[in-house]
Amino acid sequence: MHPAPSVIIFTTLSGLGFGLLVWLGLGLTAVTGWVAFVFFAIAYALAVGGLLASTFHLGHPERALKAFTQWRSSWLSREAWASVAALTVMAVYGTGLVFFGAEWTVLGWLGAVLCLLTVYSTAMIYGQLKTVPRWKTPLTPALLLAISLAGGALLAGQITAALILLPIAAVLQVVWWVRGDTALRESGTDMQSATGLGHIGQVRAFEPPHTGTNYLLKEFVHVVGRKHSVKLRTITLVLGYGLPVLLLLLPVGHMIAALAILVHLAGIAASRWLFFAEAEHVVGLYYGKR
């Protein structure tokens, strides 16, 4: 599928921001006063900035508020409600830490759960799509949650947790790729089912359905070369997971921690680009893509 920059920014930054809010809500990052203010400012800038970036992929951004109306059936709507609830609860919790030096534990834990629910809802927007077999797996929410928690641990200074979660996320990433590479073939979808002509026997494309491009081709039939895929997967593993772990094993200082966060962010951005670019939508079969 077409890897729109706005969606890559959204999934990368918001996951990191909500991951940081989880650790702040759990109270494991013992901060108060202006130090707490800085942590919450960073978390909200990432989470809210990512959510706002997602609206730029809409055909009519002014209609974004309508996303709140379909919570019974839409994971996008559930994500919208969960994010608002999480940000509201964490704002109250953060106010207590910053201005009163008070740690309202129950409120913090509630906010952490809502932040995890937000990331899960984001993942399920993609993970429930039958039309993209690579995404439709429990591994999708597991991977996004692991990356969010690992990145949040990095930002929160939870070194031990980060050293555990980053390798877990790396393993999930590799398993997700391996499973995804055969997902379309194993889904049973082919040219016969894509055209609805399977009842007449073997089907092949005589000529393209359209002489020019259209919306479906632009958004859902993006092809990434194998050599580029391998290169970006290597970048993801090295920058997103491996190098941050190596940096955290060094004597930890502010510069080392900042570098670990930056390389992790770069690696996850590459992972997100691949998340969309390698996603084979079944509509591509109708246009002769394999």
Question: How is the chain split into domains, by residue range?
Answer: 5-286
Give, in order, the Cα–Cα distances in Å from 71 to each of 74, 79, 110, 210: 5, 9, 20, 36
CA 140 remoteness from chain centre: 9
pLDDT reported for residue 4:
82
The amino acid sitting at 228 is H
Neighbours of 251 (CB within 10 A): 5
Our CA dihedral for 218, 224, 229, 232, rounded to 10 degrees, sits at -50
CA 188 remoteness from chain centre: 27
User: Which residues make Cβ contacts (< 8 Å) with residue 207, sequence separation at least 6?
Assistant: none
Q: Read off the DSSP letter of residue 252.
A: P
For the whole model, what pTM was predicted?
Answer: 0.89
Domain range 5-286, CATH class: mainly alpha
User: Which residues make Cβ contacts (< 8 Å) with residue 259, sequence separation at least 6?
Assistant: 247
| Residue 135, CA atoms < 13 Å, CB-side half-sphere | 23
Buried b / exposed e along 65-77 (16+ C-beta atoms within 10 A)? eebeeebeebbbb
pLDDT reported for residue 70:
83
Neighbours of 43 (CB within 10 A): 27
Give just the sign of the alpha carbon dihedral 10, 76, 217, 215: negative
pLDDT truncated to tens, each residue of the chain (290 aa)?
A: 677 888 899 889 999 999 999 999 999 888 888 999 999 999 999 999 998 888 776 666 666 777 788 888 899 999 999 999 999 999 999 999 999 888 899 999 999 999 999 999 999 999 999 888 999 999 999 999 999 999 999 999 999 999 999 999 999 999 999 999 998 888 777 767 666 777 777 777 666 666 666 655 565 666 665 678 899 999 999 999 999 999 999 987 889 989 999 999 999 999 999 999 888 877 766 666 65
Cα–Cα dist 23/17, whole Å: 10
Cα–Cα dist 60/207, whole Å: 34
The amino acid sitting at 163 is L
